[in-house]
Every structure is written in structure tokens, then in C-alpha cells.
Amino acid sequence: MFRGLLYGACVLVLLLCAAMVYSLVSGSWQAFGQFGFFRFLFSAEWDPTVGKEEYGAWAFVTGTLYTSFLALVLCIPFSLPVALFTGEYFKKTRIAAVIGSIVDLLAGIPSIVYGLWGFYTLCPLMKSWGLSDQGFGVLTSSIVLAIMIIPYASSLSAEFISMVPNELKEGAYSLGATRLEVVRTVVFPVAGSGIFAGYVLALGRALGETMAVTMLIGNTIQIPRSLGDTGNTMASVIANQFGEASGLKLSSLIAIGLLLFIITAVINFLGKLIMKRQRGR
Amino acid sequence: MKRIFKIAACLLAAAAMLPLASCGSRKSSGLVGAGATFPLPYYNMAFDAYKTATGVAVNYGAQGSGTGIRSLADRLVDFAGSDAFLNDEEMKSMPAVIHVPTCLGAAVLAYNLPGVKELRLTPQLLSDIYMGKLDMWSDPAIAAVNPGVALPDIKIFPVYRSDGSGTTYVFSHYLSQVSEEWAQEVGAGKALKWPAGMAAKGNPGVAGNIKQTEGAIGYIGSEYAFSAKIPMALMQNAAGNFVLPSTESISAAATGDIPEDTRVMITNSASEQAYPISCLTWLLAYQEQSYDGRTLEQAKALQDFLYWMIGPDAQAMTVKVHYAPLSPDMAAMAKARIASMTFNGQPVR
């Protein structure tokens, strides 16, 4: 009975995933048929004018990749120390529990709140620091994204760091290693694949984030040339234009959804591959 | 704990009853419509008042003009609301449809320029700003039409809608009319390939972006701009006058050369006091009302309702929610359209 339930749940998830891929593929057929897969992917042209319609995803792909990877880089200096603090240095103390749960709380804040904070607080700061002409853009959205993904990266990393066997660490201490040396030579190598998994999860979150990014990136359809430049992402163009779209444009938006699906899948796959290799060593 | 469950169960039961109760009270005499979101605040108010006055409930699903027209074509609704009239091709694909204008709105130009109380713009300047040809507010071309105004030496940031929108359509339709270059390179549409600027979602998004950014200018639906009391630019109209958008100047745009079926864009109106980036919104219904087994009563109910929408009671409500009422000429034309409704070839009344 229980076994049947488990099987049923797994099959259902698989079916759901398959149905999603099917509807994405069938919906995007018209766009790919019209432009060809690679031309659609690598063209930065997006012209909805009736009569000379021309759609390409490259501006959105670059916008998504720029903001997500920049957010990942920006979040490391915060999430890694938090993970070390709660998982190693102050392991199982009250302060670690408090900090850990506060950081986890960040994950529960609705993204519209992050967006509004960025809009009203961060944008004026970016302008006054001279980092961006109008306050909106790739850097602004990346900073907000970085804060949003810290809990995903840090709580998983902390979990794996705290799971490093004490025998290994004690062995290193007995050889005269300092705490930093233990972290560098024992904790990171042992917990490495787990920490990496945390960051892959965080990156996946950044790739799909819509609301906060839509409010902060400027929504201009161009390939961003600098960090202060405005751009657009795949998720936010879909959110913005899906409502009034029809025909070829609708199909192009669904095609962008399919591309986002593929990109997320590829990144997850690469992440798993790297983890496997590390474990194998 | 048990008590909480009990309360929750009661609440759930009450919530479940609610739709049933409202269904029960809605008799078959009710009218159903779907369409444009732009006039929704006005429609909500008017439909509510109509129910109070006559007891006839009007249900309106604000899902966008396109959806409204599709619903009318599929005969799911009694009437559709639309910000765009049916083009000749669409008219041919459906049985005769009457267009009843109900109110007017406009795209107004909001700006954020510290110290500037009054900003005047010509069609040429507006087109140049949105083409990205004018960089700075201190540009002599802008100063030339704004004598005595200290324009700051800051960059111009045009803002446009990132989502598909009827407001964008009206705005770009106007620019296509007044600028050859715009018509050639950008054109008119609900979403465009913009040569310059940055984008934000919805009227509130554009208004917020402008508020945040010194030097920003953007187009906003008049109903939103009037209620939010945002600084607005005066536009030079076709007669050469600089006109501030207001419910009067928007109403004035729908005068003069209007075709009998009211299918017209009133951008760049020739009227002297008209605000040039104005637009109409319509209710659409089939001219011949005996279809799909509809009764004469249903046809009469629809006709009464349409008459009421263009009558003085409903029109007086438009300004309360910051729309412009129909001008007397326009109301007379709308009345003629409604009177043309038939049932089995005979006039409904």
C-alpha cells in the first residue's frame, strides 16, 4: 500500500514534468519553426511591430545569465561565512541557532518586498554612488538577487559543514593545525560537494526569479554592455508581455520559457556532474 | 484547539455558501460582459448604480479588450468592452456589431524635473525624446518652447510600459500621426520596439519610475495620473495650442469629424481645445439581437442598459473616477447607434 503510494507520487511528478515539457514544446513550435532554434536563441532582435515581427531570445538569455551569476558571486562572501559560523565555529550554540533561523527567514520574505526595497532604497543609493545613471539595471538587480539567495546557499552549506566527522578535525588539530587550517584542509574538502550543491540550488533560484528583477532591471530589450546598464531577463519578459501577447509573439514567449527550462536543467546537470567527480576523488 | 476547528469549519462553510447565495439572487435578467480593464473603475461604479436603480445586475469580467472581443465573437457575453474598435477585417468576420462609446481617457506625459512647474512639449519634441535624439533637458530645442522656465542640466530618461497596453497603443498611434519618422521606424502597437528609454510594468510602475528618477518623462493613463495628482506636461495640439490634460480638454477631442459608427481614433484632434493624445472606449454588442435563442426581453434589457450608460446619470460619474464624459455630439451619436439595434429585423423598441 505504502509502496504503491510512493510509486504513484513519483510517477505523478514525472508525468507533470513531461506534460510541462510537452506544452512548452508544442507552444513554442511556431516560433522555432519561423526563426529556427539557433537563430531564435542567438538573435537579440525583438520587434513586435505588426508586419515586421522578429523575435529572438539572446538579449533575455544574457540578462538572465549576467544577473544570476553576478548574484551568485556577490552572495558568496556573505553566505560562506554564515555557513562556517553556524556550522563550524559556533556549532550547536544558541547564537548559531538564532543567526541560522534569521538567515532562513530571508527565504520567506515575498519577492515583491525585496523588489520594493530595491526600488525605494537601493536605486537612489546606486544613483548617488554614481554606479548607474538611472538606478535601475543589472547591478541593482544582482545585489537584490544576491540577498535573496543567501539563505539557500548558506543553510545547505552549514548543514554539510556541520556533518564533517569530528575524528577528521581532531586528527588535524592533534597535528598542530590552527582553526583556519582545519577549515581549509579538512572541512572544505570533505563538505565541498555539499556546499557546491547549495550554490547550484541558489543559482537555480536566481535564474527563475521574476518579480524583484522585473522591478529593478529596467526592462529594456538590449544586451547589457556594463553593470550599470539596463536589460531584461527571460522570466521578466514573460511576466510582462504574456498578458497581451498572441500569435507569433505568444509562441516566442513560450519558447523563451522552454529555453529557461533547458538552461536550468543544464546547470543542474552540470552541477551534479561536478559533484560526482569531486566525490569520486 | 477543538474550538478553533469549529470556528474554521463554520467560516469554510460560510465561504462555500457565498457563491451559491450570489448565484441564487442573480436572475436570468442579468447582463454579462467582458473586456477592457482601462475603464474598469468607471464601469464598476456605473454598473453598481445601475443595479441600485433598476435591479438589473451587470457582471463584467475585466480581462482585456482582446478577450472581450473574443468572448463576444464566441457569444459568451451580451456585450464586450474594448479600447480599440474592430477593424474592417474583424467587422467582416462577425455579424454587424455596434460600437457604443462610453467615456474618454488619454495618455498624459508625467515628468520629474526639480523646480519645473510647467512643461510644454511639441509633437516634434516628444517624438525626438522617445527616439532618443534629445539627451538633455537643457537642449535649446526644449528651451525654445518653454521661455522663462529654468530647465535643469540633467539627462532625459524616457519611460515606457514593459507590458502590452492600450495606453501604449494610443501613445504610439499619436506619435505615428504627428511624426513621419516615428511612423516609419517604430509605428503603433500595444508593445513596440522602443529606440530609447527604460520600461516599467503598468501605470503604477511607470509613475513610480518617474518619481524615483530625476529627468524622467513617461506616458501614463489619465485616470491614474489625475487621481495620483502627478505633474503633467502641456501638449501642443493640432491647432497649435498648448493644452493641459483635463477631463474637459479630453472630452473636447471627440468633436468634429466623427464617423457615424464612432469607429475612430481621436488622437491629434483638430478641435482647438482638445488634448491631442486622447482616446475613446467602447461597449460592443450585436446589432441584430435575435441570435442563439435570445429573447426580446434580453434585447430590451441590453438596450436599456446601453442607453443608461450614455445617459446623464452615468456620464456624471465619469469625472468622479477621473474619466472624461462624452461630449453632447458624441452622446447623440452613441444614442443613434443604440437605437439601431434590432430584433428579428424590427427595431427593439
B169: chain A residues, CB-CB within 8 Å: none
Q: For residue A177, is it within any domain?
A: yes
Q: For residue A22, is it within any domain?
A: no
B106-278: what fold? D-Maltodextrin-Binding Protein; domain 2 (3.40.190)
**Ordered DSSP codes for A92-150:** TSHHHHHHHHHHHHHHHS-HHHHHHHIIIIIHHHHHHTTS-SSS-SHHHHHHHHHHHHH
Q: Each residue of A200-228: pLDDT tens digit? A: 999 999 999 999 999 999 899 999 999 98
Q: Each residue of A98-111: pLDDT tens digit? A: 998 999 899 899 99
> For residue A59, which of B194, B204, B190 has the smallest C-alpha distance?
B194
A46: chain B residues, CB-CB within 8 Å: 193
User: Can you give the residue range of the structural domain that contains A137?
Assistant: 54-280
**In this prediction, does ipTM exceed 0.90?**
no
> For residue B37, which of B152, B202, B150, B198 has the smallest C-alpha distance?
B202
- B2-102+281-347, which class in CATH? alpha beta
> For residue B36, which of B333, B300, B266, B281 has the smallest C-alpha distance?
B281
B195: chain A residues, CB-CB within 8 Å: none
- Judged by a CB distance cut-off of 8 A, whether residue A120 touches chain B is yes
Q: Pick from B155, B199, B212: which is nearest to A123 by CB? A: B212
- Judged by a CB distance cut-off of 8 A, whether residue A50 touches chain B is yes
Q: Where are the domains of chain B?
A: 2-102+281-347, 106-278
Put simply, the answer to whether B189 touches A245 (Cβ < 8 Å) is: no
Q: Which residues of chain B have pLDDT under 70?
A: 1-29
> For residue B130, which of B161, B155, B157, B108 has the smallest C-alpha distance?
B157
Put simply, the answer to whether B164 touches A245 (Cβ < 8 Å) is: yes
Instruction: Provide the pLDDT for residue B8.
Output: 53
Q: For residue A131, is it within any domain?
A: yes
Instruction: Provide the pLDDT for residue A52.
Output: 81
- Judged by a CB distance cut-off of 8 A, whether residue B22 touches chain A is no
- How far A134 CA sits from the closest chain B CA (Å)? 6
- Judged by a CB distance cut-off of 8 A, whether residue A219 touches chain B is yes
A214: chain B residues, CB-CB within 8 Å: 162, 201
A132: chain B residues, CB-CB within 8 Å: none
CATH of the domain at A94: 1.10.3720.10
Q: For residue A231, is it within any domain?
A: yes
Mean pLDDT within A21-26: 95
Same fold: B2-102+281-347 with B106-278: yes
Q: For residue A40, is it within any domain?
A: no
Residues 65-94 of B with CB under 8 A from A: 66
Q: Pick from A123, A135, A244: which is nearest to B64 by CB? A: A244
Domain count within chain A: 1
Mean pLDDT within A150-179: 92
Instruction: Provide the pLDDT for residue A209.
Output: 92
Mean pLDDT within A20-32: 94
Q: For residue A17, is it within any domain?
A: no
Instruction: Provide the pLDDT for residue A153.
Output: 92
- How far A113 CA sits from the closest chain B CA (Å)? 15
- How far A131 CA sits from the closest chain B CA (Å)? 14
Instruction: Provide the pLDDT for residue A281.
Output: 55
Mean pLDDT within A176-186: 91
- How far B39 CA sits from the closest chain A CA (Å)? 17
A245: chain B residues, CB-CB within 8 Å: 164, 191
Cβ–Cβ pairs < 8 A, chains A and B = 74
Give Cβ neighbours of residue B270 (< 8 Å, ≥ 6 apart): B238, B239, B256, B257
